[in-house]
Structure formats: structure tokens, C-alpha cells
Amino acid sequence: LSDYDLWLKYNLIENSELSDSYSKITNSISISSESEVFKNLKKELSLALPKILNNKTKFQNGFTNETTLLIDTFKNLPTDLKPKIQKSIDSVNEEGFIIKSIAFNNKQLTIITAKKEVGLLYGTFKLLEFMQLHKPLTDIDVVDSPKIQLRMLNHWDNLDRSVERGYAGFSLWNWQKLPEHIDQRYIDYARANASIGINATVLTNVNANALVLTPMYLEKVEALANVFRGYGIKVYLTARFSAPIEIGNLETADPLDSEVQKWWANKASEIYKRIPDFGGFLVKANSEGQPGPQNYGRNHVDGANMMATALEPFGGNVIWRAFVYSEHDDTDRAKQAYDEFLPYDGKFKDNVVVQVKNGPIDFQPREPFHPMFGALKKTPLAMEFQITQEYLGFSSHLVFLPKLFEEVLDTDTYQKGKGSTIAKIIDGSLYRNKITVMAGVSNIGTDINWTGHPFAQANWYGFGRLAWDPYISSEQIADEWLRLTYNTDDAFVEPVKRMMLTSREAVVNYMNPIGLHHIFDTGHHYGPGPWVDNLGRPDWNPVYYHQTDTEGIGFDRTTSGSNATEQYAPHVQDMYNDVTAIPEEYLLWFHHLPWNYKLKNGEILWDGIAIKYQEGVDQVKTMIKTWDASKSYVSEQEYNDVKMLLQIQLKEAQWWRDACLLYFQTFSKLPLPDKVEKPTHTLEYYQSLKFPFAPGIKPKWD
Ligand code: BDP
């Protein structure tokens, strides 16, 4: 099944001229080392080239041939070749690479070189990518480096192999068969990640189980780390704050207790004995019931720095999450993380990074950016995106997320004047922070196609590309992914690319238009539940977020309301506070407005909301048409798979539209505009819908 191969299809090139020119470049390959990384890049070439070019490749050490592909680290290149590359090599970082055609001693060389071996792996994948994209290679000159140091997947995988918010089957990690059995999946997972530059993986759920830190599991983690190392990927684990009690027999997990500190130091040293390049810990503390330093009257700095001290001798990092909101705090949930963390700016140790979700609530189809970005100037902040579609239709809906990621990364925080974009904060160029991280909550599982929806592969791919370079466009990503995955024919790529690029706005329109948010049904977060008002905490209820009444709709977060706007830079505050200046896509996030408020296009708010819901449905209908027209470019199975999923998406877009509009209408008491299709059921019907089963719910222990 080709779905399994992701974007590494290595389809045969039919154009013989192109194929011949590639063959000339690659039919003799010089490789000098037998290290793990070299073995892996050689394996990749041996797999890919015969498929792409339908011929055999010869590996040797040296370049006797007229044309040779020479793959070696810079320090191992022939001395008289080095000056030709010196300038380029000086300009790349430790993981960067160079691909260059050079005439040398009457031979034509194509050189892949780098400071470190991992760069050679990235360079090799790039060369193969260029071939699959049919780009010319004869005069190639590529100089490339990742702009972010840690390009990381966060798996929310439990030890029982269920995946929190996972919609693509079970966890890849087969703890029962590890360490002895190395599933081919682990290797293919590592290949896929390396091909897009992902270099770190957190194997376990942020709602952590301390057991993973016991020797029995560490042995298994070590086996995975041994596979991933050869692909440049470091392993991280989530650390449950109360582990010293649960698996260490201590009575406390107080970070200022010397026994606790010793326990973590010993644990770190035990882990590093097994995994010398272990990355460190990702920690969710004092959030949604997880234990943390506050249980002992301490704060985030006490907790994070204690773990950082334990990891420091080995070069490990603590990634401390900022996703906190307290049950004892009734301030607007959107404000709480900023309030809690701002006083700690500059107080964390050098090996601590604070990981912040892109928006202040929780991975909604659209949120304004998290106010912590740019506000903490002395603490490195990691971006946390969610690749798995918890609030975006799981793996049934086609939503191209790089469009969302790009919107966030391009946003200007104005925290250091105009041009203080989130991309510049994340890549460290704005505040010169030492550690830079972009994390994505993985959407991968045991499904044959890895991600449930075939197009969700593009979200994994796109996340990796943006973590490498947060400035590339979502359009470029869609274009490349389609060519690598399906077909290089422009007649296929252009319309399907447009379909992908509109899919994110479609989901916003049919779920949460004009700044609405968190109106999802309880627990599973799948369908609409704007009426839900009976959950334990006010800020778990949709009615808290849309604040609808007979007068109007929306959450007033301006100076007259919760004043969440004060957490942004003055320019952004002014824009968000001013109902005429705020981009309308954030309107109801920040403003409570009357039903007859006039939108920029002249529609009244009620009509505008209804028309957006309809537009979302219509966009899905267009997606279906586009896919139908693409039938001849993909296999029958690929065609049918996506076609069926799009039908689900249409049905559910209509469900969202009808359920939300019928509910809001009980307040607005206004008729639906003509353009909007009439609901097929009553509000009571939508309110009565129950899910017998939805995957990915939180585990029982928290
Ligand atoms: C929310 C999820 C929950 C996670 C939590 C987190 O609903 O399952 O545990 O975020 O990020 O989005 O910690």
C-alpha cells in the first residue's frame, strides 16, 4: 500500500532525458564511512534510486568515475577541494548542509557535505526530494541550515498504547515487545522525520506516567533511542513531577527537598548511562490536575530549575509547559498563563525552555496569538502547535494546518517594535535566546497511512518543514507535498493545492467563525456543543466562551471586559480593543456585540455569522468537486478514500452549521438569511446526539 510510504514514494521518472541526467549524477556514489548515519543514508539511496531511476547504483570510496556523487563531511574532503566550498560551509550551522556541482580534477562531482554527519543525511534527503520534484540537478548549489535547533514531535502516547487526542490508531511504541523487537515502523518513522528535519521526539504523554522512568521501561526507551540516533533524532520523555513518590519511595516531591533533588540527579545519571544523547524532560506541571511544585507551595521556577540542575551535567534540557489555568482562579482563562509566568521571566536556568501553545486557550481552529510570545524577553519560548486535530474534526476532516501555523508564525507581536514576528521569537533572532524549539503534538499512530486521513500526512510534513524554516509559505509546502505524495502534474497539483489552502478557512467557518471558540461538545471535542453549561468549572463550558444572551454574542476581553488585551504590546492592544480596527476573524474573541452590529461588509452580525457557517459548508462542497475532478491522477483506492472522508466532512460541516445556528437563534430571535440552507433537524435533535465512542479521550488516571 503506497499510503504507508508517505512523501517518500520515490516514483519512477518517466521522462527519460531527466532520468538519464539524474542517473549520470548518481550512478557512482562515494561514501567513506560505515557509521550509523552513513549506513542509513546509503540504505535510503539504495532504496530510492532504483525506484526513481530504474537502475542500480554503485557505492565506492573515492571518485574514479567521470561523474560521482560524493557524500562526506567537510573535514574529510580532499584538501584541494575544500577551498571551493569553504565559504558555504562557514555559513551553515551544525546541522546544515551543502549540495554543489563542482568540476574537479577533470571529473564532474556533485558534493553533499556538512559539518556533521547528520547534515549529510539531510542533504541526501534533499537531493532525493529534488529528484522527486523533477528539479534540475546539473548545476546545483544549495546551502541550507535549520533555523530552529529542536524540531520536535510531542507524542501524547500512553504506556497502554492509547493515544490521548490520537485519531490514527494506537501508539507506535510497542512497549510489550521492546527492547528485543525493533518494528520496521520505528525505522520508517525515523526516516520520515529525518527527511523533513525533525530531530527530537518526546515519546510519552504530557499527562505522564512515572513508570516510563523505571529501569524496565528505560531499557525499552534505550532501544528506540538506538534506532533514532542514526537518523539524527534525540529522545525525550515526559517526567511526572510526583515520580519520586510514585517510583522512588520518597514521601514528597518538593523541589526544594534535598532527597528529591538527589533522586532526580540519580535518575538523570541512570538515563544518560543508557542513552548518552538523551534530550531531556518535557513537563506538564500544575495543570489540569497534574502534580507540580505548587503542591508544595513552590513555583514553576523552583520545579523547572530543580530538574534542569539534574540534567545539566549531561547537557539535557527541561521543556516546561505554560499550559496552565487554575481551578481556584476565576480570571479569564485566556489571561492565566501570562499572569502566572511573566513574573518568572529571566529566572529559569539556561537549560530550561518554556513551551507555549500558539494561542491562549487551546488549539482552536483559530485563536489570536498567545500573549506570552514576545512578552517574556529573557526566557526562551518554544512554540507548541497541535498537529493532531483535536478541535478540527479529528482525522475525518481534511484541514491543511500549515496555513494555520503560517498565520501564527507571521503574526507581529510588536513587542520589540514593528516586525517582532512570532517566527523571529521562536527562531531566537529577536531576543537572541540560546535554545530554540518548535514542537508539534503528533498526529501519528498505527494506521497503515500513519495519520488516519491521507491528507493529514501533509500536516506532519508541513510541521517539519516549518520547524526547519518558519518563513517558508504554506503554499510551497502544499505544492511540494502533493508532488511528492501523489503526482507532479500541474493539472492535478494546482487545483488540489487550492483545495488544501482553503481547507483551514473552511473549518473555521463551519465550526468557529468570526472569533467564536471552544464551543465543542464535552470531553471528545468532536461535534458542536455551544449549549453545554453543566461542567464542573465555568471555563470548561462553551457558554463561558461565547457569552451569548438576547442582546448579543462574544467574549468581552477589552478594557471594559476581562482586559485580556492588556497582555499584548500597546499597538496590538489598541487594535484588539478597537472594534473597527480588529481583524474581523478575531471579533467575537475580544468583543461582545449586539446581534445587529454592522460588519464591514454591511451585514448585521447575526447574518454575518450565519453566512460564514454556510460559506464553510459551501467550501467543503467545492473541495468535493475538486477532488472528483482529480480522479484520473490518483489510484482508485486513494481517490475513494478521500472521497468518502470528504462526504463525512460535508455532513459534519452541515451538522455544525445547523446545530450552532439553531442554538444561537434562540437568543438572536432573528431569521436565517436567505443564502443559508434551512436546518434539517431541530435543536433538540442536535442536543440529543451522543457518541457511543470517540477515540483519544484523556486517560483515567488524571
Ligand atoms: C488539551 C487536551 C488535553 C491535553 C491538554 C494539554 O484536551 O487532552 O492534556 O490540552 O495540552 O488540548 O495538556
Sketch the domain layout of the chain as residue ranges.
2-144, 150-485, 509-555+592-688
Q: State the Cα–Cα distance between residues 499 and 108, nearest whole angstrom.
A: 42
If you search the block for the grid coordinates 530554540, which residue do you land on?
Answer: 436
CB of 206 within 6 A of ligand 1: the answer is: yes
pTM score, whole prediction: 0.98
Euclidean distance between CA atoms 519 and 512, whole angstroms: 8
CB 470 within 8 A of CB 426: yes
Gap from CA of 208 to ligand 1 centroid (Å): 12
Q: What's the CA-to-centroid distance between 540 and ligand 1, angstroms?
A: 12
Distance CA 75, CA 77 (A): 6
Span 637-654, pLDDT tens digits: 999 999 999 999 999 999
Instruction: Classify domain 150-485 at the CATH class level.
Output: alpha beta
Q: How far is CA 313 from CA 37, 213, 269, 348, 583, in A?
A: 26, 19, 9, 16, 48
pLDDT in tens, 270-327: 999 999 999 999 999 999 999 999 999 999 999 999 999 999 999 999 999 999 988 7
Q: From residue 593, give the alpha-carbon distance in Å to each of 530, 533, 549, 605, 673.
A: 17, 21, 10, 8, 19
Written out in words, the top-level CATH class of the domain with range 2-144 is alpha beta
Name the closest-CA residue to atom 10, ligand 1: 362
What's the 385 CA to ligand 1 centre distance in angstroms? 12
- Give pLDDT < 50 ranges for the chain: 700-702
Q: What is the pLDDT of residue 301?
A: 98
Cell of 204: 510519552
Q: Which pLDDT score, from 0 to 100, does residue 6 have?
A: 98
Distance CA 156, CA 120 (A): 30
Atom of ligand 1 nearest to the CA of 164: 8
Query: Which one of 167, 205, 206 would you pick to mutate in the ligand 1 pocket, going by the greatest count of ligand atoms within 8 A of its CB?
Result: 206
Q: Which residues pair with 235 in a beta bridge?
A: 201
Please report, to the nearest 10 degrees, the dihedral formed by the alpha carbons of residues 619, 622, 628, 631 taken in order. Answer: -80
CATH number belonging to the domain at 509-555+592-688, selected among 1.10.3720.10, 3.90.1330.10, 3.10.20.30, 3.40.430.10: 3.90.1330.10
Is the CB of 323 inside a 6 Å radius of any atom of ligand 1? yes
Look at residue 1 in the predicted model and tell me its pLDDT.
Answer: 58
Parallel, antiparallel, or unpaired for β 28-31 and 200-202?
A: unpaired
Specify the pLDDT at position 696.
Answer: 84
Q: Nearest C-alpha to atom 11 of ligand 1 is from which residue?
A: 323
Q: Decide: 509 and 615 in contact? Cβ < 8 Å.
A: yes
For residue 329, the model assigns a pLDDT of: 82
Which of 207, 290, 319, 320 should be mutated for ligand 1, with most atoms under 8 A from CB? 207
* Residue type present at position 307: M
pLDDT of residue 320: 98
Are the C-beta atoms of residues 260 and 252 closer than 8 Å to each other? yes
Task: Say what the alpha-carbon torsion angle 118, 123, 128, 134 is, to the nearest 10 degrees.
Answer: 160
Q: What is the dihedral of CA 525, 153, 168, 238, to 10 degrees?
A: -70
Closest ligand 1 atom to residue 386 Cα is 12
- The catalytic residues are 288, 362, 390
Q: What CA–CA distance (Å, rounded) separates 208 from 260?
A: 18
- Whole-number Å distance, alpha carbon 283 to ligand 1 midpoint, is 13
165 Cβ closer than 6 Å to some ligand 1 atom: yes
Pocket test for ligand 1, best of 155, 157, 158, 165 (most atoms within 8 A of CB): 165
Using the structure block, give the residue that is written with the C-alpha cell 540504505.
43
Within 13 A of 689's CA, how many CA atoms are on the CB side?
18
pLDDT of res. 694: 81
Give me the pLDDT at residue 695, please.
Answer: 85
Ligand 1 atom index nearest CA of 441: 11
The H or E element containing residue 439 is strand 437-441
